[in-house]
Chains A and B, each alone.
Chain A
Amino acid sequence: MSHKVVAVVDYGMGNLRSVAKAIEHVAPGATVLVTANAAEIASADRVVMPGQGAMPDCMRELTARNLREAVIRAAAEKPFLGICVGLQMLFGHAEEGNIMGLGILPGTVPRFPAAAMVATDGARLKVPHMGWNQVKQVGAYPHPLWQGIEDEARFYFVHSYYVLPEDPLVAVGVTNYGIAFTSAIARDNIFAVQFHPEKSAEAGLRLLKNFIQWQP
Chain B
Amino acid sequence: MLAKRIIPCLDVNAGRVVKGVNFVALRDAGDPVEIARRYDAQGADEITFLDITASSDERDIILHIIEAVASQVFIPLTVGGGVRAVADVRRLLNAGADKVSMNTAAVTNPQLIADAAAKVGSQCIVVAIDAKQTSPGKWEVFTHGGRKNTGLDVIHWAQDVQAFGAGEILLTSMDRDGTKAGFDLALTRAVADAVGIPVIASGGVGNLDHLADGVTLGRADAVLAASIFHYGEFTVRQAKEHMRARGVEVRL
Neighbouring A residues of B95 by C-beta, 8 Å: 17
Interchain nearest-CB distance for B100 vs A (Å): 11
8 Å CB interface, A22-57 against B:
22, 24-25, 52-54, 57
Q: Which of A13, A17, A124, A177 contacts B2 (CB 8 A)?
A: A177
- The answer to whether B123 and A156 have CB atoms under 8 Å apart is no
A196 to B124, CA, bound (A): 14
A189 within 8 A of B: no
Contact of A205 among B74, B123, B197 (CB under 8 A): B74
Using CB atoms, name the residue of chain B closest to A177: B2
Q: Which of A127, A154, A196 is packed against the most chain B CB atoms within 10 Å?
A: A154
Q: Is B55 an interface residue (CB 8 A)?
A: no
Q: How far is the CA of A14 from the CA of B123 in the complex (A)?
A: 10
Q: For chains A and B in complex, what number of residue pairs have CB atoms within 8 angstroms?
A: 95
* Interface contact B121-A17, CB-CB below 8 Å: no
CB distance from A145 to the nearest CB of B (A): 17
Please report whether the interface of chain A is mostly helix, strand, loop or mixed according to DSSP. Answer: mixed
Is the beta-carbon distance between B1 and A133 smaller than 8 angstroms? yes
> Could you tell me which residues of chain B, from 61 to 116, have a CB within 8 Å of some CB in chain A?
70-72, 74-76, 93-96, 98
Q: How large is the interface on A (under 10, 10 to 19, 20 to 34, 35 or more residues)?
A: 35 or more
Interface residues in A185-216 by Cβ distance below 8 A to B read 196, 198-201, 204-205
The verdict on A127 contacting B197 (CB below 8 Å), with A133-B1, A199-B76 known, is: yes
Question: A25 vs B222: C-alpha distance in the bound complex, in angstroms?
Answer: 28
Q: Are B98 and A159 in contact (CB under 8 A)?
A: no
Given A130-B221, A131-B2, does the pair A199, B121 have CB atoms closer than 8 Å?
no
Which of A54, A157, A176, A205 counts the most chain B CB atoms within 10 A?
A: A54
User: A129 contacts B2, CB within 8 Å?
Assistant: yes
- Report yes or no: B123 in contact with A154, Cβ–Cβ below 8 A: no
Q: Is the CB of B123 within 8 A of A53?
A: yes
Q: Digit string of A1-29 for contact with B (CB within 8 Å is 1, else 0)?
A: 00000000000011101100110110000
Asked if residues A132 and B2 are in contact (CB atoms below 8 Å), the reply is yes
The answer to whether A131 touches B94 (Cβ under 8 A) is no
Residue A64 is within 8 A (CB to CB) of chain B in the complex = no
B122 in contact (CB, < 8 A): yes
Check B96 against A159 for contact (C-beta < 8 Å). no
1/0 per residue, CB under 8 A from B, across A52-95: the answer is 11100100000000000000000000000000000000000000
**For A21, what are the chain B residues with a Cβ–Cβ distance below 8 Å?**
70-71, 96
Q: Is the CB of A154 within 8 A of B3?
A: yes
Does chain A have a CB within 8 A of B8? Answer: no
Interface status of A128 (Cβ within 8 A of chain B): yes
Q: Is the CB of A133 within 8 A of B193?
A: no
Count residues of chain B with CB under 8 A from any CB of chain A: 35
Whether the pair B93, A124 counts as a contact (CB closer than 8 A) is no
Task: State how many angstroms separate the Cβ of A174 from the closest Cβ of chain B.
Answer: 13
Best-buried of B45, B71, B76 by chain A (most CB within 10 Å): B76
Cβ of A143 < 8 Å from any Cβ of B? no
Q: Is A115 an interface residue (CB 8 A)?
A: no
**B51 contacts A by Cβ under 8 Å:** no
Also in contact, A201 and B40, with CB within 8 A (given A52-B121, A123-B219, A128-B122): yes
* Residues of the B chain whose Cβ atoms lie less than 8 Å from the Cβ of A131: 2-5, 45, 198, 221-222
Instruction: Report whether A15 and B251 are in contact in the complex, using a CB–CB cutoff of 8 Å.
Output: no
Knowing A18-B96, A53-B121 touch, does A132 contact B74 (C-beta < 8 A)?
A: no
Q: B182 to chain A: which residues have CB within 8 Å?
A: none
Q: What 3 pairs between A and B have smallest CB-CB spacing?
A: A53-B121, A132-B251, A132-B3
